Structure 1
Amino acid sequence: MTCAACVGRVEKRLARIDGVTAGVNLATGRARVLHPAGVPVAELVAAVERAGYTAEPLPAGAPVGVTAEEPDERWRLLVTALAAVPVLVLSMVPSTQFTAWQWVCFALAVPVVTWGSAGFHRRAWQGLRHAAATMDTLVSLGVVASFGWSAYALLFGGAGDPDMRMPFSLTADGGGAAHVYLEAAVGVPLFVLAGRLLEGRVRRRSGSALRALAELGAKQVCLREEGGEERLVPIELLLPGQEFVVRPGERVATDGVVVEGGSALDLSLLTGESVPVEVGPGDRVAGATVNVGGALVVRATAVGTDTQLARITALVAQAQAGKARAQRLADAVAGVFVPCVLAVAASVLGFWLGAGAAPQAAVTAAVAVLVVACPCALGLATPTAL
């Protein structure tokens, strides 16, 4: 998913199943689905796939899994920037234009429009196959329209003259001079790629709290069996009622009651208090707290998802999966934003052509609508900021 329009598509597709309600979070890439017992999970996954995306059930207690930064995306942004910046400078600063400058810009724009924007075109095509439009649709249309018109102007519209100069103008006319719009064709992918790379980093940091909580838990526990023998086993094998040993410097494996020994525990994980608290036989202890004193023997009272640490983690995950009122509003608006923008662009094109304007001015005005709207922060900034 790349924008709030994608979120709306997935939610609507899931809601078509009787008795199913779903809330999808763009920042975490998770869906919280309530469904009748008779609706299998496979049917929910199939509904998401029919919307053009993929999904899989999340294991209970799993931390937020945010994908690592893709090296290919960094390279794509770097190559796009190296090709786009000269085009932007030559197109926007007339004093830098030289003989056949527009053909140099055209050659630099080709890899940006094709390879650099390939992800936008692919996702836009996938959306069209599912009769849906997203922000990627606007990006793809804006890039293709501005590049296509520029190619036409270079080949057939007189802009291919090596001595052509394009003055800076605040209007579509530009004093009658030939115009190409390669700066829009390369600028939009550049800025959207940069924004999404930054957004991806924010998404990864948004899951750091859950990952940090998950890493606090003990991975192994030293069981004390009958006869006083001790055995080191994975924490998953610990059952309520079993006794385990906590040596100085170790973390308490799970919630329990002290049976033997006395020590001081660092409870800053739960209370924020940095001063260790003394505990002895009969005192309750929480998992993941640190033993800073003597050895303890603890009888487990809660394991797995029943521990305090697991409940804290679940609360944080629930908070990230939920939506604030502002985000729900942004998602609702984004669901109709793209179709409205496309309708406005088509209306603008038809209006100027019907008013007798030159095709260049009409296409320029329609492309301007797409170019201005496609990197809109509506669907990205709200979930990221929240």
Structure 2
Amino acid sequence: MERKIFQVTGMSCAGCAISVETILKSQPGVLDAGVNFTSSTVWVNFESNITSPENLRNAVRSIGYDLVIESNNRDIDAEKKQHITTLRKRFIYSLLFSTPLMVVQMFFKHWSYTPILALILSTPVIFWFGRQFHINAYKQLKHFKANMDSLISISSTVAYLYSIAAILLKDNLHNRGITPHLYFESAAMIITFVLLGKWLEERAKGKTASAIKKIMGLQPQMVWVKQNESVEEVPLSEVRKGMNVMVKPGERIPVDGTVTEGHSWVDESTITGEPIPAEKSISQNVWAGTINLNGLLYVRAEQIGSESVLGKIIETVTNAQNSKAPVQKLADRVAGIFVPIIIAISIITFIAWLVIAPGFAFSHGVIAAISVLAIACPCALGLATPTAIMVGIGKAAQKNILIRDAESLEQACKIDTIIFDKTGTLTEGRPTVESINWFHHEDKYPSILGIIEQHSNHPLAKSIVEFIGASSRMFTIESFSEETGKGVKAIVDGKIYRVGSLEYLNLSGVIDVIPNQTSISGTLIGFAEENRLLAIITITDKIKDTAPSAIAKLRNIGIESIILSGDSSKGVEKIASEVGIERFEKGMLPADKSDYVKNLKAQGKMVAMVGDGINDTEALTIADVSIAMGKGSDIAIDASQVTILKTDLNAIPELIAISRQTVRTIKQNLFWASIYNLISIPIAAGVLYPFTGLLLDPMIAALAMAFSSVSVVTNSLILRAKRIG
């Protein structure tokens, strides 16, 4: 399976996005697809041996849109800016014609040359500056479809043609006692106001992606490469694995790699969230997007572009922003049938005026029908969710919080219970051996213990290896097995050795073990040969400075925190007390943790799980929202819906706050978009006419429509400036 993201051109409303998505999903070899109207992008999962990007493009072109598949050779940002500039120019030019047109029709309507002058001034506005609306509407009509452009094209053209008919049939109408009205200014102002709205909307939509643009800006585009004792500057796209890259002081490192020469301090806050610079010298790893502060470094390129950690962050954020929240599915269904329904309402409105209205039924019916077409706004409905999602996910990314998809962002606002693993999550994850109490000691035992622990993936194993240090004695491990959450067993020189919890050793038949023995200062690990206990190791781990404040913030917003730890020591109780958590469970195996999560969910709780180790993977996959700390194991990060790229636990209440703000904004947007259409369409149809004697002018209807979508995008942008907490 291959996954690609393409730019889509020609979309003007959410209905367009539905059409593109539907046609792509119907193609042979396409497994799934999703369109983001806000960013004008589509992601497609497809079988490359069945179809190709060119085939996908042809399918999209067949319904009047286009896919940009050669994006490497095009500056998409520049094209978007050019599109915004074009909209601005068309609006200004149309305004230059529409303004005198309004003046003429308002103040000189009895002048004999007014009809001809109005025709001359309105024609370029409708058919030149607004030509794209008619072109797109025609493309849709060819495929028996309709979109936002169809509404604009029909409403402006009908008003224009009605006015021409009024001029041509003026004498005939006068003979019947009917005074014909001209609506050239309404037709022109529909185009003018819609162009204004589109210009403002596109500008605002561009700002919703500002966060991802800032992250992408961390990647240098030009790189100094050392070859044959000379250094030359080349584009990043020409850098290959194994090349030696030079990074000057103050420059951003362009690739993930290993330092081959030099010594410096590197600001890694963009990747790790740590504010303190890290010292770098030969053989140490560096990451793209981080800043070389003072010394000259030479780095062997190992991961470049999209393969780098920064590239994966960009990909994660982009995919998340292009994903759809569950609440958007209903909005998409409504948007997909919105335009045909509006056209039907417009026709019904016209017929209703002919049937039930006295007097100027025909002219009033035409104007009411035009106003219905002009005022209806599927764009506001289509933009309500994705604009807020893009801003929310981007805001989280700037806080070093990576959210995998829109559904996870939406789910996070409902969380009422958060489960924390202890080691590496609430603690620094840098356990140190406080002491080793030997009951039977021979020179070989420390070396055997160290060699066994070198093969273990458990977070505590590394601390034991570091404490014992290098040994001159070499032993061969004949077999090795690990029981997750319990301990390890190895055969060395024909004897069975075990390292693990005291309960594990006791169940394995090791004598002299008190399984419930605990230490208030840390975790107890046993080391045994056959059935004989050799030593007990006491390991401590410092609590993260941010843990107490993070737990307090969660408590203040109504979220309960629970510790589930595989540690069976009194240290769990001590840590729970210090960070302010009342509920905790110790001695939990991975299966126990997952069962605990299941039980909470069965009680109706919305559960988030925060972990960083292999032991947490099963519980992470079961939780409603899974959160991995960025320094955790790759397995934990892959299993999680949210990854926090820093050690600061305050990121968790920040995540909840961003989620709540985003969902609140989505609800506001959907409420406004729904209420706007529910109220404005009947008013445009003339329901207030019997009470007020007034009909809504089509140009006022167009102005209202233009600003309805702009208001939705603007409300989403306000989310960027909102304080967290």
- What TM-score comes out, normalization by structure 2 length? 0.46
Alignment of 1:1-386 (within 5 A): 1-20=11-30, 21-41=32-52, 42-57=54-69, 65=77, 67-70=80-83, 71-89=85-103, 91=105, 99-100=111-112, 102-103=114-115, 104-157=117-170, 178-218=180-220, 219-223=222-226, 229-232=229-232, 234=234, 235-236=236-237, 238-241=239-242, 243-271=244-272, 275-355=276-356, 357=358, 358-373=361-376, 377-379=380-382, 383-384=386-387, 385=713
Q: Is the 8 A contact 1:192 1:375 kept in 2?
A: no
Does the residue aligned with 2:66 lie in a helix, a strand or coil? coil
Does the residue aligned with 2:182 lie in a helix, a strand or coil? coil
Matched length: 368
Judged with a 3 Å threshold, the aligned counterparts in structure 2 of structure 1 residues 18 and 183 are, in CA distance, closer, same or farther, namely same
Judged with a 3 Å threshold, the aligned counterparts in structure 2 of structure 1 residues 278 and 38 are, in CA distance, closer, same or farther, namely closer
Q: CA deviation at 1:198?
A: 1.8
Q: Is the 8 A contact 2:155 2:187 kept in 1?
A: yes
Q: CA deviation at 1:382?
A: 5.3
Q: Is the 8 A contact 1:105 1:182 kept in 2?
A: yes
Q: CA deviation at 1:233?
A: 6.1
C-alpha separation in 1, matches of 2:172 and 2:273: 68
Which residue matches 1:167? none
C-alpha separation in 1, matches of 2:114 and 2:384: 35
Q: CA deviation at 1:290?
A: 2.0
C-alpha separation in 2, matches of 1:376 and 1:245: 49
Q: Is the 8 A contact 1:252 1:287 kept in 2?
A: yes
Q: Is the 8 A contact 1:154 1:160 kept in 2?
A: no
For structure 1, list consecutive stretches of 5 or more residues without a partner in the other structure. 162-174
Judged with a 3 Å threshold, the aligned counterparts in structure 2 of structure 1 residues 213 and 83 are, in CA distance, closer, same or farther, namely same
1:187-238 deviations in whole A, cap 9, x for unaligned? 211111111112222344444444444443342233376xxx3543634454
- Residue 369 of structure 1 aligns with an amino acid whose one-letter code is V
Q: CA deviation at 1:96?
A: 6.7
C-alpha separation in 2, matches of 1:375 and 1:336: 9
Does the residue aligned with 2:80 lie in a helix, a strand or coil? coil
Judged with a 3 Å threshold, the aligned counterparts in structure 2 of structure 1 residues 241 and 148 are, in CA distance, closer, same or farther, namely closer
Structure 1 residues 39-48 or 275-284, which shifts more? Answer: 275-284
Which residue matches 2:475? none
Does the residue aligned with 1:249 lie in a helix, a strand or coil? coil
1:2-21 deviations in whole A, cap 9, x for unaligned? 11111111111112224522
- Residue 80 of structure 1 aligns with an amino acid whose one-letter code is S
- Residue 252 of structure 1 aligns with an amino acid whose one-letter code is I
Structure 1 residues 321-330 or 311-320, which shifts more? Answer: 321-330
C-alpha separation in 2, matches of 1:310 and 1:48: 28
- Quick check: which has more Rg, 1 or 2? 2
For structure 2, list consecutive stretches of 5 or more residues without a partner in the other structure. 1-10, 388-712, 717-725
C-alpha separation in 2, matches of 1:376 and 1:230: 56
Q: Is the 8 A contact 2:223 2:245 kept in 1?
A: no
C-alpha separation in 2, matches of 1:238 and 1:150: 64
Structure 1 residues 132-141 or 26-35, which shifts more? Answer: 26-35
C-alpha separation in 1, matches of 2:372 and 2:126: 19
Q: Is the 8 A contact 2:29 2:48 kept in 1?
A: no
- Residue 24 of structure 1 aligns with an amino acid whose one-letter code is V
Structure 1 residues 177-186 or 5-14, which shifts more? Answer: 177-186
- What TM-score comes out, normalization by structure 1 length? 0.82
Q: Runs ≥4 in structure 1, deviation > 6 angstroms?
A: none
Of all paired residues, the percent bearing the same amino acid is 34
RMSD: 3.3
Judged with a 3 Å threshold, the aligned counterparts in structure 2 of structure 1 residues 306 and 107 are, in CA distance, closer, same or farther, namely closer
Structure 1 residues 96-105 or 127-136, which shifts more? Answer: 96-105
C-alpha separation in 2, matches of 1:224 and 1:101: 77
Larger strand proportion, structure 1 or 2? 2
Judged with a 3 Å threshold, the aligned counterparts in structure 2 of structure 1 residues 378 and 177 are, in CA distance, closer, same or farther, namely farther
- Residue 34 of structure 2 aligns with an amino acid whose one-letter code is G
Q: CA deviation at 1:252?
A: 2.2
C-alpha separation in 1, matches of 2:378 and 2:168: 29
- Residue 7 of structure 1 aligns with an amino acid whose one-letter code is A
Q: Is the 8 A contact 1:142 1:374 kept in 2?
A: no
